[in-house]
Structure 1
């Protein structure tokens, strides 16, 4: 085989190595994005978040790299000649050629895994949207941040509608507080991140067993407002039993009274809660 032939083989080999290295880097970035979305799926609901756009761009880039690799190997007569020349150069049964095939299979398995991860994320998001749509007519905990306020307010509202396209809830505050200037019932449009479904009264198994001293968000007895509280007894004998809680800033005679709150009026404390 002439020197120009060998030079061509080496040039194509370098290009293939470069493409495969770039594919590996893209796969690493895709897996990082999957882990990020799986850990914090609420990110995609935030206005201005472009996580899914970035993920789509990574998949598009990976597809282009894969097509370029195939084009170099099989897309023209030069590449076909390259394969036959490599077969002629390599002795039978060396570790190099099988190793190439194994690496190719690994690449395929990685792509299959990332495709499966993306499919699982898409299915989870779709299931979550269906679950939120089923909340119509139900009472939920809703977060409203008043203008010029430095804290969030949580209260019980009724779900009127959930728009899957905009991913917004339309809710009704059926019992606004005495300090509400408008008076009467009020409607709000809120993002998914501002809504927390309550455990179902008819299904105690949907309630959580919070460990003692953990913090929760609970409806203060006699009101429709939710406040941060500390669990006194997390291990209830029966799922239908009330939680015994101590609400923050609820001091009586220098101590925090312990108040019973129904299991279907207690939810986990949201991350980054401000109150």
Structure 2
């Protein structure tokens, strides 16, 4: 693979601007509204079942299928909320690390305070607290799992690797992870890192293709380069087929003989490209 895979630097990138931050916040608000709508639909069905148990006997398949679809949608929205929240955290880190001026930070704080006052009329604190608990519980459940982790980041590029979650601290909101296969230049055979939630992306479940996002042709993703434990930016060249459960990808800077070769990568080693990714 070309320089980015073997360690060469990519083009420099600046941190996210305030406008991008606000857009991502709007996306998170919309996800929460959709979650409320789905929860309302689920509650309606539950109430109907309690009020008319005989209804279940008459159309049990229809009711169960509808409930399954609603719960599946709720799960997808929850996962999207985690992804959007992680992206917001990463964007805020980028603003802070890029040396945002005091005036810019003040503008963000004032905007956030105004947004909180507006949202207080439409959202209950219990929902926000429950959402945070849900995120923390899902993070804790990753213990022993392999995940994608941004272990290094500078002004020029981010470095993502496959690591194993050893522990998640709910107080500090930090993961302790183990890089089981570090590079040849590492002094030890294995290396541990402590990373914030914004640096971790869970992989889809290996035995459950339905847990994977359905990336379409032309979509940019972050994927494990075949034969390595490193993740790089790639473009989906061929839509995933249920029979094969692999994406055909073209990795950036992977040029051979003037063209990008197409490589098959299992669905459980492909995740959404993080906001502001540098390679």
TM-score category of the 2 structures, normalised to the smaller one = 0.5 to 0.7
Deviation at 1:172, TM superposition (A): 0.3
Q: 2:232 aligns with which of 227, 238, 251?
A: 227
Deviation at 1:241, TM superposition (A): 1.5
RMSD: 3.2
Q: 1:258 aligns with which of 256, 262, 267?
A: 262
Match of 2:131? Answer: 124
Residues 36/230 of structure 1: CA separation in 2 closer, same or farther (3 Å cut): closer
Residues 173/149 of structure 1: CA separation in 2 closer, same or farther (3 Å cut): farther
Counterparts of 1:82-97 in structure 2 under 5 Å? none
Gaps of 5+ in 1: 1-31, 63-109
Deviation at 1:56, TM superposition (A): 11
Residue 38 in structure 1 maps to residue 29 in structure 2: yes
Match of 2:159? Answer: 153
Contact 2:209–2:245 (CA<8 Å) still a contact in 1?
no
Of the two structures, which has the highest relative contact order with CA contacts closer than 8 Å and spacing of 6 or more?
2
Residues 184/123 of structure 1: CA separation in 2 closer, same or farther (3 Å cut): same
Counterparts of 1:130-145 in structure 2 under 5 Å? 130-145=137-152
Normalising by the residue count of structure 1, what TM-score does the alignment of the two structures yield?
0.60
Counterparts of 1:1-275 in structure 2 under 5 Å? 35=26, 38=29, 40-42=84-86, 43=88, 113-115=122-124, 118-145=125-152, 150-180=156-186, 182-238=187-243, 241-275=245-279
Q: What do the CA deviations read for 1:192-218 (whole angstroms, capped 9, x no partner)?
A: 000000000011110111110111000
Aligned residues: 190
Gaps of 5+ in 2: 1-22, 31-83, 97-104
CA distance in 2, matches of 1:231, 1:112: 42
Residues 173/114 of structure 1: CA separation in 2 closer, same or farther (3 Å cut): same
Normalising by the residue count of structure 2, what TM-score does the alignment of the two structures yield?
0.59
Residues 243/57 of structure 1: CA separation in 2 closer, same or farther (3 Å cut): closer
